[in-house]
Chains A and B, each alone.
Chain A
Amino acid sequence: MTNAPVTGAEARTIAGPGKPAMSPARLAGIALAVAVALGLPFVVSDFHSFQLTQAIIYAIALLGLNMLTGYNGQISLGHGAFYAIGAYTAAILIDKAGVPYYATLPVAGILCFVVGFLFGLPALRLEGLYLALATLALALVVPQLLRFRPLEGLTDGVQGISLDKPEAPFGLPLTPDQWLYFFALLVAAIMFWAGHNMLKGRIGRAMIAIRDHHISAETMGINTALVKSTTFGVSALYTGVAGALSAVVVAFVAPDSFELFLSISLLVGMVIGGLASVSGAIYGGLFVQFVPNVAEEISKAAPWAIYGVILILFMYFMPAGIAGFVRQVQGRLRTAPTRSSADG
């Protein structure tokens, strides 16, 4: 930690020349994306707004998982557990304590941070596949715990907790689905902005250094234990907030909602979206939400076989995930005009 200022200075020199390089084309692209994101719910149906909201929620969860696995190299097969804890925290606070839904998100986030951080401590001794197994256990335990009798006063056991869908506040002329879309979008914008800053800064570089070479990172003075368990905590925080949002949007939680398959879906979404990429989380969220539906459209008899084929095709043609593919295409587009201008 003593050499932190040095790394900080480095950051400025690295980031320095990058900043003004934001081309007008890129700015226009971002402006267009924002306009589309804000305009979509007015163009599509409530049902599609609901689906898009779910995709946004998955994107937040995937960003959390990506911090841990993509940036820090710790594999988690159990992020569904944090998603469940976040969702139940929100549902219990709303249902039993009458807390307004928006106020449950920070609570869910903080609780998941603590749980994630504590889980991260013993997990420090575990590397690679062993950590994967430990987190897998977490994913298996949580749905059982939610059914556990002594906790039933809180969790309502197997039957789950039913919530009311919130209406748009301040008399805004929005349907509940449109409102929740904007609400989720706002939460996602804040969390992506914060996540982006963290990952591009000193802590982000420390995380990557640990992933790439643990011993060198330690030699450079990075407190690897602290960084790793904090990363676990922050990662759980993101996924927990996503879970809380999902409880509000779906308006129902039950142990059956958070079986192992959820954790696997998140892992798939992260890899398909692009490891160690912030924008990859968005692509991954869209994939997790929409590809199973596409698969079902293609074949009702064997949707998961189709899903598998799509998965393989993605991995074959975009080995670095969708984000990697986009980067590649952008790179080509950027070099192409330079060449032509040189010619002319």
Chain B
Amino acid sequence: MSMTRRLLCTTGLAAAVALVATPGLAQKKYGPGVTDKEIKIGNTNPYSGPASAYGTIGRTIAAYFKKVNSEGGVNGRMVNFVTLDDGYSPPKTVEQTRKLVERERVLFVFQGLGTATNSAIHKYMNRKKVPQLFVATGATKWGQPKAFPWTMGWQPSYQTEGSIYAKYILKNIKNPKIAILYQNDDYGKDYLIGLRVGLGAKAKGMIVKALSYEVSSPTVDAQVVQLKNSGANVFLNVTTPKFAVQAIKKAHDLGWKPVQFLNNVSVSVSRVMKPAGFEKSRGIISSAYAKDPTDPQWKNDKEYLGWLAFMKKWYSRGSVNSSFNAYGYAVAKTMERVLKQAGDNLTRENIMRQAAGLKDVRIPMLLPGVVLNTGPGDFRPIEQMQLQRFEGNTWKLFGPIIDASGSS
């Protein structure tokens, strides 16, 4: 009963949206992969290989569209989500993406995972004029509407986050002497660029030491000792979870008490803060744009409970402690929203236009107050973050939502 009502509701809503989106109501315009009954979209994810832990994002998205289809699809069309394994290997991504575009004839490709993998198809997608939407990487290069009008990112870029910390430091810390620990790759360096840009002309004098580590190295203890000895009073910790735990512990054990910043990559309560020790993690500042499912403060949150119910029913094999699964849910909801907005005009051009036409869109599992905004010249959907401080066993959000649009 409620099912049919919901169905009626959705169709009604869809019709309303369609009315708004396409003035000439009867005009249906279809690109490849679209019929009256189906929208075919493509995706590559690492279901095997070194980064297969991320594969759960693809599975969450697939589960989400299964749910959408069971409820009548989007504007009456079933979403056929074709997801292929690329093993995190760029040549394989090229092959699988070409398969999606040229053989499966999908309308567009969505949420390909990885910086190198997406780079490998960047030119191809733009030459073919096939949307490469909401790519799963925090690199900065996905928001270039002029040079690459068919590619769009989703999450805040690492540079954006770096500049947010810079602004906080300039405003709140007297005579800052900054020590940085970062991973020696694009991800680490993007943070550094963001920080430097945010600090502006004073960056040179303020950054007293910047040390890197290799993903393959066993520990970062030696680096932390050196950073402490630099006499810094600010510590920016740009590390992935395993190294974040080490660095937090080591800094505490050395008796070093700087103002500590930890990058968003490692804010998981269960994977980082708990193993590092709640006592040792106290006072660390970070920023976030999404809710961490392992953070107890969301225990009774409506959106969290909605996600939990979705996980239980549609992806019971997936972990409810994984922020990847919350991420996949939120990004799939964004995609659904764009498809709804496109109405019956399901051409590649219109999909891009709708993706670039998000105005203050609220997506569940993002932080309260964070909304998506895009425009013809703005291909960075999420640019808002909020600062948070670790207290007790949870992150406490503080300060306003910081909008970093245009900062990078």
Contact = CB atoms under 8 A, between A and B. Distances in A.
A160 B186 CA distance: 10
A54 to B, nearest CB: 7
Interface in B62-96: 84-85, 87-91, 94-95
Interface in A126-165: 144, 147, 149, 157-160, 162, 164
B279 interface: no
28 contacts: A47-B103, A50-B98, A51-B95, A144-B214, A147-B184, A157-B185, A158-B185, A159-B119, A160-B120, A162-B119, A162-B122, A162-B123, A251-B94, A251-B123, A252-B90, A252-B91, A252-B94, A254-B90, A254-B120, A255-B116, A256-B89, A256-B114, A256-B116, A257-B89, A257-B116, A259-B50, A261-B49, A300-B85
Interface string B27-66: 0000000000000000000011110000000000000000
A256 B117 contact: yes
Contact of B116 (A51, A149, A158, A164): A158
Given A162-B120, A303-B48, A261 B87 contact: yes
B124 A251 contact: yes
Given A256-B88, A259-B89, A47 B99 contact: yes
B55 to A, nearest CB: 11
A50 B103 contact: no
Contact of B216 (A144, A149, A157): A144
A193 interface: no
Nearest to A307: B48
Contacts of B48: 303-304
B406 to A, nearest CB: 24
A50 B95 contact: yes
A240 B214 CA distance: 27
B384 interface: no
Contacts of B84: 296
Contact of A47 (B85, B98, B116, B123): B98
A95 interface: no
Contact of A250 (B87, B90, B184): B90
A246 interface: yes
Interface of A: 45-47, 50-51, 54, 144, 147, 149, 157-160, 162, 164, 246, 250-257, 259, 261-262, 296, 300, 303-304
A261 B87 CA distance: 10
Contacts of A259: 49-50, 89
B253 interface: no
Interface of B: 47-50, 84-85, 87-91, 94-95, 98-99, 102-103, 114-117, 119-120, 122-124, 139, 184-186, 212, 214, 216
What 3 A-B pairs are tightest by C-beta distance, nearest first? A252-B120, A254-B116, A47-B102
Contacts of B115: 158-159
Given A46-B102, A144-B216, A257 B90 contact: yes
A185 to B, nearest CB: 19
A273 to B, nearest CB: 20
A261 B139 CA distance: 26
A252 B103 CA distance: 21
A144 B184 CA distance: 11
Contacts of A257: 89-91, 116, 120
A160 B89 CA distance: 12
Contacts of B122: 162
B123 A160 contact: no
Contact of A160 (B47, B88, B119, B184): B119
Given A47-B102, A251-B124, A160 B116 contact: yes
Contacts of A47: 98-99, 102-103
A52 to B, nearest CB: 12
Contacts of B47: 300, 303
Given A149-B212, A159-B115, A261-B49, 6 more contacts: A144-B216, A162-B119, A162-B122, A256-B114, A300-B85, A304-B48
Nearest to B88: A256
Nearest to A304: B48
A303 B48 CA distance: 9
A252 B216 CA distance: 24
**Of B49, B94, B139, which is in contact with the most chain A CB atoms at under 10 Å from its CB?**
B94
Contacts of B85: 296, 300, 303
A159 B216 CA distance: 17
B6 to A, nearest CB: 30
A302 B98 CA distance: 22
B24 to A, nearest CB: 35
Nearest to B139: A159
